[in-house]
Amino acid sequence: MAETGLKILADSVILIDHFNGITSATEYLSQTQGRLAISVITRAEVLAGFEGKDRKLARTLLDCFPTLIIDRTIADLAATLRRRYRWKMPDAFQAAIAKHHKLKLATRDVGDFPPKRHRFVVVPYVL
């Protein structure tokens, strides 16, 4: 289960928005400090967009958040979710991690994660 106090899993788009200067994302990260985690998926997707000193700065910020891993149970759940909802595998992993740890998934990706259909999804801001 998730660490005590964690309530939210941030999808990659939230961190990417922050790094792209979207004020709403930065404010959301600040407001949820101590209650928000990231997954290994988010870490990899975010770091893939950086090189050199910028990569080091990105890693420093990502290190501020607990990073939830994928284990056998989560992999099995992701497979089920991918089959059921036809999600891409990274999205299925994000959902599986959130569900396994009983966390909300904060995302702007309402195409794959419509909040009316998936009650574990929250959309913290709209662009």
Is 4 or 83 the better-scoring residue by pLDDT?
Answer: 83
Residue 2's pLDDT is 57
Q: What is the CATH number assigned to the segment(s) 8-122?
A: 3.40.50.1010
Could you give the CA distance from residue 42 to residue 67 in angstroms, rounded to a whole number?
9
* pLDDT band of 3, cuts 50, 70, 90: low
Q: Rounded CA gap, 59 and 42, in Å?
A: 12
| Overall average pLDDT of the 28-46 stretch | 97
Q: How high does pLDDT run on average in the chain?
A: 96
Average pLDDT rounded to a whole number, residues 38-67 = 97
Task: Report d(CA 123, CA 62) in Å as an integer.
Answer: 20
Domain boundary assignment for the chain: 8-122
Q: What is the pTM of this model?
A: 0.94
Number of neighbouring beta carbons within 10 Å of residue 42: 26
Mean pLDDT of 29-46: 97
Q: 18 with 31: CB under 8 angstroms?
A: no
Is 68 in a helix, a strand, or coil? strand
Count of H-run helices and E-run strands, the chain: 6, 5
Q: How many CB atoms lie within 10 A of CB 23?
A: 10
Q: At what angle do helices 72-85 and 89-100 cross, to 10 degrees?
A: 120
What is the DSSP-derived secondary structure letter of residue 118? -
Output the six-digit token pair for 1. Answer: 């289960």
Q: Structure tokens of 80?
A: 């089920």
Q: What is the predicted pLDDT for the residue at 15? A: 98
Q: What is the mean pLDDT of residues 45-68?
A: 97
Q: Is the pLDDT of residue 113 over 90?
A: yes
